[in-house]
Structure 1
Amino acid sequence: MADIKLGYNTGYWSAGPPSGALEAIQEAEKLGFNSIWTAEAYGSDALTPLSWWGAHTEKVQLGTGIIQMAARTPAATAMAAITIDHLSNGRFICGLGASGPQVVEGWYGQEYPRPLARTREYIEILRAIWAREAPVEYHGDFFDMPVDGGMNLGKPLKSTVHPLRNDIPIYLAAEGPKNVALSAEIADGWLPLFFSPKEDAWYREQLQAGFDAAGDATKKDRFEVSSGVMIIPGDDVQKCADMVRPFLALYAGGMGAKGANFHYEVFERMGYGDVADKVQNLYLDGKKEEAAASIPLEMVEDVALVGPADKIKGELDKWRETCITEFLLSGPAMMLPIYAELING
């Protein structure tokens, strides 16, 4: 089998920047990793650290994993993308996502309904700005350029800066079936979360629906699927799984409200509805440790690689057979050579 591409995820900040991020990024480039990625939730933003750390690299691609669309107008995101793409000599990947209603409505003060339709409009505007073929005029359900109102002095404008690339790649974060299909239809790549090899056929169906809607017979061959994969090597499988359980509990139980948690729905589709219910109830009651402890090993092993090196290498075959084209890894610099050896030998 051909080597799978590797990327490095710096992850979310906590009270401050992740320790050792620059060292790990430089190690990733030294090892020949394809990309590095930054994230944002409701603390640090994704673009500033990507520029800062990216300035210390030369070849690795620089991706946002992800820019929350509610955080910026399409024009602001398009401007940032043009800027970083120039400064990095054409290495920027614009990773986008809708986030969830708690963050969008609570932090950004925007309404959340119809995120797919909003995403479609957002990306159409990005493409129009980067194409720079004409002043941008767009009148949709969510975005109005120029706006109808105010002083009524707005006029269609064209970026003063010529993009280094008019086709800056867009990767869309998606979990639900319609959103996964949308990524294949209108984006250049898909950023899954909690990908499970046993769900590969189902995901391929959604992607194919998107490729069909795009009407481009060649798109499937150049479409990227860059998926985060947690790898915890160690002799004791359960102890390794314990490193993953709090992360799964946070997303399945604590991210979003009951009835509006897309991560919960991912595990429900995998057949862990009862577990997800229990985790969510415990987590929302403030019993975070109990929530994590209630996650079975099987559920961890469906979305992560844990345990002795030989076990991980044996399980990697089923991951290689999926639609994933790039593994996005996390951890300190010292772990990256170990990951690379486990995955590609």
Structure 2
Amino acid sequence: MKIDSSFSFGDRLDDIAAIQAEFQARERLGFDGVVTAEIRNDPFLVVGMGAAVTQRIELRTGIAVAFARSPMTTAYTAHDLNVYSRGRFTLGLGSQIQAHITKRFGMPWHGPAQQMAEFIRALHAIWDCWYDGKPLNFRGECYRHTLMTPDFTPLNTRYGRPRVVMAAVGPLMINAAAREADGILIHTFCTPKYLEEEILPRINATLAERGRRREDFEVSFPPFVVTGRTEAEFEAAKQRVKYRIAFYGSTPAYRPVLECHGWEGLQPKLNQLSKNNGWDRMPDLISDEMLETFAVVGEPRQVAQQIKARYGHLVDRLTLESGLPEDVLSEQIRIMRG
């Protein structure tokens, strides 16, 4: 099992030295990868910063919003980062929701599963042209790419095409990931029971239908973790994770996870509070039983053992937040790999 570190740089984009030092620290600690997300900033820029000062660690987006871009612009960016990092870049894509795509990014929406599957096929058609010399003739329902001349074809292809992994929640998106991508990014709003009983069987069935091997497909998951060095830190983490569970639980798309545990009645209550600006009251509906079902809870060294016991036999990669001292993080990594 590989262990990645999430990286959020917030408003520190002008402090390049500090950002690069954090990448170097994660490599020194023994993390396998660093994952950047598209929230307030472009996730690709900081990957380039990290690539410049590291040698081993993998660099991953988790996620970049696919539909905010075209397959062609994404193909160029991913290619360049993979060359710049000497083959260490993995392109993690997600769909976002319709309102953000059409109203924030001003881009077309064709339905997430169909569009994402076609987006990834278009990427590979472009890379087939660049890396294998095949004519570019991709004609889909959402995207069309039929022109590529030598002047616009990247020259350095020694590192091959980047790996592409895809975020998925519902059955159609899970099927699309297992058909088209190199791996899947499981949403953090998930439990071991839902993962084992619902998600993994669907992945395995779709892979089998496509004649793909499970060992060639990567399952990655970022678990909720509640921990802290002091009681105050622990309580703050507990409330923060309860809020996130409540936030995701208010969304109809995540109701099946609650149904798996007999908690489907919680979703409409959370949804109603979210519509009435009751965000601060939503965490009160998350019981300690629910918290411990969704999250790994305990002292820093205990959570490493729990993470390994819960997920070591289910997933190939874990993504952890890194707010603890380096000696604690180093020991956590050692325990999870032991």
Q: Which TM-score applies when normalising by structure 1?
A: 0.84
Report the Cα offset of residue 333 of structure 1. Answer: 5.8
Q: Give, in whole Å, the separation in 1 of the partners of 2:161 and 2:295.
A: 33
Are residues 1:190 and 2:184 paired?
Answer: yes
Q: Give, in whole Å, the separation in 2 of the partners of 1:277 and 1:22.
A: 43
Report the Cα offset of residue 271 of structure 1. Answer: 3.4
The number of equivalent residue pairs is 324
Amino acid at match of 2:333: A
Question: SS at 1:215's partner residue?
Answer: coil
Report the Cα offset of residue 62 of structure 1. Answer: 0.6
Question: SS at 2:297's partner residue?
Answer: strand
Cα separation, partners in 2 of 1:334 and 1:281, compared to 1, 3 Å: same
User: Larger % of helix: which?
Assistant: 2
Task: Give CA deviations for 1:216-249 in whole Å, capped at 9, x if unaligned.
Answer: 3xx2112211111232224767664223112223
Cα separation, partners in 2 of 1:157 and 1:280, compared to 1, 3 Å: farther
Question: SS at 2:296's partner residue?
Answer: strand
Unaligned runs of 5+ in 1: 147-154
Question: SS at 2:265's partner residue?
Answer: helix
- Within-5 A mapping of 1:1-345: 4-11=1-8, 14=10, 17=13, 22-41=20-39, 43-132=40-129, 133-146=133-146, 155-157=147-149, 160-162=153-155, 163-194=157-188, 195-199=190-194, 200-216=196-212, 219-234=213-228, 240-253=237-250, 261-309=252-300, 312=303, 315-332=306-323, 334=325, 336-337=329-330, 339-344=332-337
Report the Cα offset of residue 38 of structure 1. Answer: 0.7
Q: Give, in whole Å, the separation in 2 of the partners of 1:92 and 1:233.
A: 30
Identify the range of structure 1 (309-318 vs 330-339) with the bigger mean alpha-carbon deviation: 309-318
Task: Give CA deviations for 1:183-228 in whole Å, capped at 9, x if unaligned.
Answer: 1221111101123111213212111122023223xx2112211111
Q: Is the CA contact 1:251–1:264 (under 8 Å) kept in the aligned structure 2? A: no
Q: Give, in whole Å, the separation in 2 of the partners of 1:231 and 1:48.
A: 28
Cα separation, partners in 2 of 1:267 and 1:56, compared to 1, 3 Å: farther
Question: SS at 1:58's partner residue?
Answer: coil
Q: Give, in whole Å, the separation in 2 of the partners of 1:271 and 1:77.
A: 41
Cα separation, partners in 2 of 1:242 and 1:325, compared to 1, 3 Å: same
Unaligned runs of 5+ in 2: none
Q: Is the CA contact 1:240–1:306 (under 8 Å) kept in the aligned structure 2? A: no
CA RMSD of aligned residues (A): 2.6
Q: Give, in whole Å, the separation in 2 of the partners of 1:329 and 1:313.
A: 10
Cα separation, partners in 2 of 1:92 and 1:79, compared to 1, 3 Å: same
Q: Is the CA contact 2:186–2:221 (under 8 Å) kept in the aligned structure 1? A: yes
Amino acid at match of 1:222: D
Report the Cα offset of residue 332 of structure 1. Answer: 2.8
Question: SS at 1:244's partner residue?
Answer: helix
Task: Give CA deviations for 1:226-277 in whole Å, capped at 9, x if unaligned.
Answer: 1112322247676642231122233333xxxx6xx53455444443322222
Q: Give, in whole Å, the separation in 1 of the partners of 2:311 and 2:162.
A: 27
Amino acid at match of 2:306: E
Q: Is the CA contact 2:63–2:94 (under 8 Å) kept in the aligned structure 1? A: yes
Q: Which TM-score applies when normalising by structure 2?
A: 0.86
Q: Give, in whole Å, the separation in 2 of the partners of 1:242 and 1:119.
A: 34
Report the Cα offset of residue 128 of structure 1. Answer: 1.6
Q: Is the CA contact 1:63–1:95 (under 8 Å) kept in the aligned structure 2? A: yes
Q: Give, in whole Å, the separation in 2 of the partners of 1:293 and 1:16.
A: 33
Report the Cα offset of residue 76 of structure 1. Answer: 0.4
Identify the range of structure 1 (270-279 vs 168-177) with the bigger mean alpha-carbon deviation: 270-279
Cα separation, partners in 2 of 1:285 and 1:15, compared to 1, 3 Å: farther
Cα separation, partners in 2 of 1:229 and 1:280, compared to 1, 3 Å: same
Cα separation, partners in 2 of 1:300 and 1:8, compared to 1, 3 Å: same
Cα separation, partners in 2 of 1:264 and 1:49, compared to 1, 3 Å: farther
Q: Is the CA contact 2:122–2:145 (under 8 Å) kept in the aligned structure 1? A: no
